[in-house]
Amino acid sequence: MDSAYLIETIIKVVVILLVFSALAGIGTYFERKVLAFMQRRLGPMNVGPFGLLQVGADGIKLFTKEDIIPTNVVGPIFKIAPVITAATAFMAAAAIPFLPAFTLFGYEVHPIVADINIGILYVLGVMAVGLFGPLLGGMASANKFSLLSAARAAAVFISYEVVTGLAILAPIMMVGSLSLIDFNNYQIENGWILWSQPVAFVLFWIAAFAETGRTPFHLIANDHEIIDGFGTEYSGMRWGLFFIGEYANMFFISFVIPILFLGGFGDGSVLGAFALLGKMAFFFFFFLWTRAAWPDVRPDQLMWLCWKVLMPVAVINVVITGLVMMF
């Protein structure tokens, strides 16, 4: 392992951390503006032109607010829970190819931290660990509503993971590899996987909402209890870390879906790179669109949906894919 590789990796890690932490902040601005537009409001307008500096104002607020650790909470776990959410979200990003390889000052850069040959398993596995954050935060809070929220987090977790795994299995069988780069290269030759695996695409997309805890499945922080679920007892930057983790997860899953199903960055041209960013933007926008358009489902409805509808459909999809590939 030479030092050039080490320096390159550290630079990549820092760039990804900075870019996506900033994007998480800007994502909240977009979310508020999009929701406001869909509900015929103005959204943030007062701070800066079109409320653009609202992101900075929120950041200052989160960083400078007093960090309160209430009595009766289980201290160490209460403190570490937000870190788990944020850290695992960024750890998952290590295996995602954000852009095609490009040459910068005569040096070839691969915008992926570690091209491991089990990329998709790693990304999904580490993202799943992120749900430990809300679970631990809720259980350590010594607050009944937080505990209920943690119970819902466990319910969401054991429901969606089966669907994600089985939905992604059929495309994996076709590609014959778990590496996201291989997925991209397969789609250059054979066209988008979306056309051959539409069922798997829809299932994975639905499961992505559960994975990030976004609105139809926003059970971990139940909005209609008016409080913030697992985050009720949190304040300041600890709550902000939950937030950064959630938005970073949304961005990363918005990268993973196009790479898996919609051709990724294609043959690696500049056009392909911008196409990937465009697709990512669409999927991120869709998260916000759904939040404006749909109510939350109940936890039992989510479990019914995952176990009795989506899982059988995913299994049938895998069997049919296997039969088609065999004959």
Residues that bind another protein (CB under 8 A): 1, 72-74, 76-77, 116-118, 121-122, 124-126, 128-129, 131-132, 135-136, 139-140, 142, 147, 150-151, 154, 157-158, 161, 165, 177-178
- Min. distance of Cβ 73 from another protein in angstroms? 7
Q: Which is nearer to another protein, 120 or 280 (CB)?
A: 120
Q: Which is nearer to another protein, 122 or 234 (CB)?
A: 122
- Min. distance of Cβ 284 from another protein in angstroms? 25
> Do 50 and 91 touch, CB atoms closer than 8 A?
no
Question: Within 10 A of 199 (CB to CB), how many other CB atoms are there?
Answer: 16
- Min. distance of Cβ 31 from another protein in angstroms? 28
DSSP SS3 for 284: helix
> Do 16 and 95 touch, CB atoms closer than 8 A?
no
Q: Which is nearer to another protein, 288 or 311 (CB)?
A: 311
The CA-atom distances, in angstroms, between 286 and each of 101, 116, 120, 163, 235 are 28, 29, 22, 20, 29
* Selection from 130, 179, 176 nearest residue 157 by Cα: 130
- Min. distance of Cβ 165 from another protein in angstroms? 8
Distance CA(156)–CA(111), nearest Å, equals 32
Q: Which is nearer to another protein, 16 or 73 (CB)?
A: 73
Distance CA(93)–CA(10), nearest Å, equals 14
Side-chain-side CA neighbours of 22 within 13 Å: the count stands at 6
> Do 321 and 197 touch, CB atoms closer than 8 A?
yes
Give backbone dihedrals phi and psi of 104, rounded to 5 degrees, phi first. -125, 120
- Min. distance of Cβ 243 from another protein in angstroms? 22
Q: Which is nearer to another protein, 28 or 159 (CB)?
A: 159
Q: Which two three-digit tokens encode residue 68?
A: 């309160």
Q: Which is nearer to another protein, 21 or 177 (CB)?
A: 177
> Do 44 and 28 touch, CB atoms closer than 8 A?
no
The CA-atom distances, in angstroms, between 56 and each of 19, 20, 61, 63, 266 are 15, 15, 9, 10, 35
Q: Which is nearer to another protein, 137 or 231 (CB)?
A: 137
- Min. distance of Cβ 46 from another protein in angstroms? 41
- Min. distance of Cβ 181 from another protein in angstroms? 13
